[in-house]
């Protein structure tokens, strides 16, 4: 998944389809992102440095 936050793009690799669907359906995408996708720094659960990024 690729997210643009204030002009900066962030890559998240190997995000399960269920997590993406929940993100899209969340009442607050920002809240869902902060609690479930972003994680903490480079140790985020789907950080592109530790998870494969798909080829575009």
Do the domain assignments include residue 56?
yes
**The predicted structure's pLDDT at residue 47:** 63
CB-based contacts of 53: which residues, under 8 Å, 6+ apart? Answer: 11, 13
Identify the three-state secondary structure at position 14.
Answer: coil
Residue 34 belongs to what domain range? 11-56
**The predicted structure's pLDDT at residue 26:** 96
**The predicted structure's pLDDT at residue 40:** 56
**The predicted structure's pLDDT at residue 37:** 83
**The predicted structure's pLDDT at residue 55:** 67
**The predicted structure's pLDDT at residue 7:** 93
Report d(CA 16, CA 33) in Å as an integer.
14
| Ranges of the chain with pLDDT below 50 | none
Determine how many CB atoms are found less than 10 A away from the CB of residue 54.
10
Do the domain assignments include residue 51?
yes
Report d(CA 35, CA 8) in Å as an integer.
19
Name the domain count of the chain: 1
Do the domain assignments include residue 2?
no
Do the domain assignments include residue 41?
yes
């Amino acid at each position: 998944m690729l997210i643009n936050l204030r002009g900066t793009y962030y890559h998240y690799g190997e995000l399960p389809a269920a997590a993406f669907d929940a993100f899209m359906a969340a009442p607050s995408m920002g809240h869902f992102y902060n609690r479930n996708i972003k994680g903490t720094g480079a140790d985020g659960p789907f950080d592109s440095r530790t998870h494969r990024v798909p080829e575009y």
